[in-house]
Amino acid sequence: MTEKGPELVVSSPPFVRSGLSTPHVMREVILCALLVVAGAVWTFGIGALLTVAAATAGAVFAEWLATRGRKPSPLTDWSAALTGILLGLTLPPTMPLWMAFLGGAVGIGLGKSIWGGLGQNLFNPALVGRAFLQAAFPTAITTWAPPVNGAIWTVWQSQLALPFMRGEVDVMSGATPLGAMKFQAQPTGLEDLFLGNVSGSLGETSAALLLAIGLWMAVRRLYDWRLPLATLLSVALLSGLLHLANPAWPGPLFELLSGGLLFAAVFMVTDPVTSPTTPRGAWIFGAGVGALVVLIRTFGGLPEGVMYAILLMNALVPHIERFTQPKPFGAR
């Protein structure tokens, strides 16, 4: 009875787990985002990879700076790297690399670290970085290059500009489909939108690619499927109604396939930290994003409104959660 037993660990129940881990989820989402990067390299050349790398380096640098000395390092949860990759994919192909780096650093610094790190921030860090770049470098972030489709060794001279120097301008400025629609009332063919044969930010061009990746991520349960579905349904519904009221406004298919909507629906709206935890809240959040996207695109001064739509809805998340808490068992 008194013999020495084995050294047993006492912990609280349960003693089995699903095996899912946050770093694992992050890594899987990163792999999906890298597929989008591959698509961007095909569409805009290897320069796309440089932009994404620069933004990621900025994000990881800021995370390291903010959390150095902490054990285990939060870098190992891969969330900062994911933020950087996603930010990079929202930038135009001609963006100077130093700006992308700065955007990544600001996105993590102002968008995440000062809130208290992973899980504490109210706003999507990648979009905070992008909003900063939009405010600081309005020209660079709205200078678009036409797709090079397959000429993958393309690197734009302006990308290599030194910090705070005017880069060599080699850009044949091409309008994005949304810009062409808004300012010249020129629609783009749905086929081009679907395949990504249009100019735009790195990650936002091929609707087909994004739909395939989005579906895969839904099957793998990497996000709450309600979020992108609510967003897209809301865009389709509202733009459909507006199109019926005034056929000059673009119809649902154009709205769904153009701009950053699909990319954001798959990678930004679905950020768990900055979206509601409650299922009903997810529907409301997604629907709100979709409605704001259509309103900004149709009535606002900007051709694209996805970024502001998401940031605005981010701010509402605590309030949405307050009135969408689940009703407990036995009280329904």
Cβ(310)–Cβ(128) under 8 Å?
Answer: no
Taking the least distance from each CB to other proteins, the nearer of 24 and 189 is 24
User: What does the H/E/C string look like for the chain?
Assistant: CCCCCCCCCCCCCCCCCCCCCHHHHHHHHHHHHHHHHHHHHHHHCCHHHHHHHHHHHHHHHHHHHHHCCCCCCHHHHCHHHHHHHHHHHCCCCCCCHHHHHHHHHHHHHHHCHHHCCCCCCCCCHHHHHHHHHHHHCCCHHHCCCCCCCCCCCCCCHHHHCCCCCCCCCCCCCCCCHHHHHHHHCCCCCHHHHHHCCCCCCHHHCCHHHHHHHHHHHHHCCCCCCHHHHHHHHHHHHHHHHHHHHCCCCCCHHHHHHCCCHHHHHHHCCCCCCCCCCCHHHHHHHHHHHHHHHHHHHHHCCCCCCHHHHHHHHHHHHHHHHHCCCCCCCCCC
CB of 314 to other proteins, least distance (A): 12
In angstroms, how far is the first alpha carbon of the chain from the final one? 53
CB of 163 to other proteins, least distance (A): 33
Q: Whole-number minimum distance, CB 128 to other proteins, in Å?
A: 17
Cβ nearer to other proteins, comparing 29 with 309:
29
Gap between the Cα atoms of 133 and 141, Å rounded: 7
| Closer of 166 and 327 to other proteins (Cβ) | 327
> Cβ of residue 287: shortest distance to other proteins, in angstroms?
17
**Closest CB 256 distance from other proteins, rounded Å:** 25
Q: Is 258 or 278 the residue whose CB approaches other proteins more closely?
A: 278
Closer to other proteins by CB, 16 or 135: give it. Answer: 16
CB of residue 83 to other proteins, shortest distance in Å: 12
- Listed residue (59, 114, 113) closest to 87, CA to CA: 59
Between 8 and 165, whose beta carbon lies closer to other proteins?
A: 8
Nearer to other proteins, 7 or 191 (CB): 7
Please, which residue, 164 or 329, has the CB nearer to other proteins? 329
Q: How far is the CB of 22 from other proteins (least distance, A)?
A: 4
Task: Work out how close the CB of 79 gets to other proteins at its nearest, in angstroms, rounded to a whole number.
Answer: 8
Residues that bind other proteins (CB under 8 A): 1-3, 5-6, 8-18, 20-25, 77, 79, 117-120, 224, 272-273, 275-279, 282, 321, 325-332
